[in-house]
Amino acid sequence: MVQQSTVRRGAGGPPPGVVTAPEDETVLTSRQAFDSWWEERRRSGRFRVTRIPFAELESWSFEPGTGNLRHDSGRFFTVEAVELPDGTGPPASQPIICQPEIGILGILVKEFDGEPHCLMQAKMEPGNVNTLQLSPTVQATRSNYSQVHRGGRTRYLEYFAGHRRGDVLVDTLQSEQGAWFWRKRNRNVVVRTDEVVPAHEDFRWLPLWLMHELLRVDNLVNMDARTVLSCLPAPSGPAAAPRHTEREIRSWFIEEKTRCDWQPRLIPLAAVRGWARTAHELGDAEGRQFRIVAVRVEGAGSREVASWSQPLLRPAGPGLAVFVTRRIRGVPHLLTRARPEVGLLDLVEIGPTVQLRPGQHPDALEPFVREVATGAAGRVRYDVLHSEEGGRFHHALTRYRIVEVGEDFPLDVPRSYCWITPGQLVRLLRHGHYLNIEARSLLACVRSMR
């Protein structure tokens, strides 16, 4: 493929509006090269995010009657509410973000000198703690790329959906945060090309080993990049006998779904109970979960339009996601847990060993995983703070941890848990509705463990 790209180098002009550089100059081959490009991108961006009262949102308003927060165009997303099960008395409820359209998260891959590289983007998003994070080549809702808000076209989309489409390595629909999104899914795509790709200043080719290194940095690789990376086919290791066959895993998973027979329902935001709305925010009475806030965004950079306002969901604190890993007959396994979440399309997906939302305390965990969650037991192999979706959440951080345990950790686990190898998880990711976003983020991190 390298040969072919050399042959074709220089053929065809760049699309109008794309700044080009010779492709060699856009491949970052060291951590130093990355750091200096990143610093330069960070300084060149002008981006200001200001909290505003709801009344100052442009084109967004609380719909009369339902109270749902929506855009005048009917597009993008709405904030509505959902009933939660609780067994006794009237069900509790919470706000939830509804975004029915399926977007694309796509990473373009190309080999240079036999090594796979990802075309990554320095992308500003209003909810990120540090604004700029490393994102997939394409990260676009349908509204984005059909240009509902009259911004520019989506760069590189033609490699995923158009006439330049390359070899598809990954193409799968995956869920996002089931606690905050109502049935949101995105198409996770990896495409391999051998064309010469004109490089915009916000984009660089990063070798896969460098991506893994950057995954060990706090708040750098964004959620969308992590989920796409998690779906990459795993390098086939030595033949290893996993604890369970894939059929057994599917049976276990169906059994867990079967035991969960409630059906969450959307209700109007006006009907939500236990949440209070001020001019500036809508939050739970105890301040333990999250608030819906409004921001104005002003800036110039890689965003499609220069200025807009929008609602964001702001969690009350960081979450925690932990995978326990253990060798079983010499083969590394991850301890997964089937977990219902109110916003998941099929309600139950496979999550990490431990997953705590803001406001959930480790004391509520089952004893056999509590010490691992708090770091009191096991050997911490990975411990990084990552950001969740910066286009919908405001400063939403999750602490991602992988903790290795020894042979004293029980192999027989309660029925909602299951030992699965990373390779088995990646094969399940060919299909949707299996792994939740937290488990996928951690799966990407597993590959970056030293």
The least distance separating a second copy from the CB of residue 274, rounded to whole angstroms, comes to: 23
276 part of the interface to a second copy, by CB under 8 A = no
HSE of 367 in the Cβ direction (CA atoms, 13 Å)?
0
Per-residue x/- marks for a second copy, 70-109, CB under 8 A? ----------------------------x-xxx-------
Does 142 bind a second copy (CB under 8 A)? Our answer is yes
Does 345 contact a second copy by CB under 8 A? yes
Alpha carbons 434 and 175: distance in angstroms, whole number: 9
Candidates 81-89, 117-125, 278-286, 425-433: pick the segment binding a second copy (CB under 8 A): 425-433
Give CA separation, 256 vs 88, 249, 298, 424, in Å: 22, 11, 46, 18
CB of 30 to a second copy, least distance (A): 34
Residue 137 beta carbon to a second copy: minimum distance, rounded to whole angstroms: 17
CB of 350 vs a second copy, minimal distance in Å: 13
Which region, judged by CB under 8 A, interacts with a second copy, from 20-28, 215-223, 357-365, 428-436?
Answer: 428-436
For residues 81 and 372, which CB has a smaller minimum distance to a second copy in the complex?
Answer: 81
Cβ of residue 250: shortest distance to a second copy, in angstroms? Answer: 6
Q: In the range 277-316, which residues lie near a second copy by CB under 8 A?
A: none
Minimum CB separation from a second copy for residue 133, in Å? 25
Which of residues 67 and 432 has its CB atom nearest to a second copy in the complex?
Answer: 432
Give the residue, chosen from 26, 68, 135, 172, that forms a contact with a second copy under the rule CB under 8 A.
Answer: 172
Least separation, in Å, of the C-beta of 244 and a second copy?
12
Is the CB of 9 or the CB of 250 nearer to a second copy? 250
Nearer to a second copy, 78 or 222 (CB): 78
Determine the residue type at 310: Q
| The pair of three-digit structure tokens given for residue 348, joined into one six-digit string | 């139950």
73, 179, 213 from 59: Cα distances, Å: 8, 26, 41
The rounded distance, in Å, linking the Cα atoms of 150 and 136 is 22
Q: Which C-beta is closer to a second copy: that of 247 or that of 361?
A: 247
For residues 267 and 82, the answer to whether their CB atoms sit within 8 Å is yes
| 432 forms part of the interface with a second copy (CB under 8 A) | yes
Distance separating alpha carbons of residues 103 and 145, to the nearest angstrom: 9
Interface residues for a second copy in 235-274 (CB under 8 A)?
247-248, 250-251, 254, 257-258, 261-263, 265-266
Number of residues that make up the chain? 450
Binding flag, residue 411, a second copy (CB under 8 A): no
Phi, psi of 310 (to 5 degrees): -165, 155
Distance between CA atoms of residues 71 and 78, nearest Å:
7
Residue type, 6: T
Size of the site for a second copy (CB under 8 A): 29
Please identify, using beta-carbon distances, which residue of 34 and 160 lies nearer to a second copy. Answer: 160
Nearer to a second copy, 122 or 429 (CB): 429
User: Which string of x and - marks every residue 175-194 that binds a second copy (by CB under 8 A)?
Assistant: --------x---x-------
The rounded distance, in Å, linking the Cα atoms of 193 and 232 is: 15
Q: How far is the CB of 53 from a second copy (least distance, A)?
A: 30
Looking at beta carbons only, is 281 or 346 nearer to a second copy? 346
Q: CA 135 to CA 158: how far, in whole Å?
A: 18
Residues that bind a second copy (CB under 8 A): 98, 100-102, 142, 168, 171-173, 183, 187, 247-248, 250-251, 254, 257-258, 261-263, 265-266, 345-346, 430-433
